[in-house]
Structure 1
Amino acid sequence: MLDTIALLLTGAVAAYLLWRFWGRYSKEKALYDVYYLMGFAVLLVSGLLLIFLGLGILKSPYVLTIATLIPLGISMGLTEEYFPKWKTYFKWFAAIGFVAIAVTSIAGLDTLKKIAVPLFHGVAGLVIFLGPFFAPKAPKGFWWVGVGGVLIGLGGIALAFLSAGSQLLFFSADFVMLILTPLMLLMTLAFTFGFVKDIKK
Structure 2
Amino acid sequence: MKPIYAAFALTACLMTAGCTEQAGDGGAEESAAGNRAEASHDAPAEEALSIVLTVDGLRLSDDSNMVTFGTPEETAIAEMDAIAGAPTERSSNDECGAGPMAFAHFGALTINFQNSRLVGWSMFDGEEWEGRPVATPAGITIGSRRAEVEAAPQAVFEETSIGLEFTADGVDGVMSEDGPEGVVINLWAGTNCIFR
Q: Give the TM-score category using the shorter length.
A: under 0.3
Give the TM-score, by structure 2 length.
0.28
Q: TM-score, normalised by structure 1?
A: 0.27
Higher strand share: 2
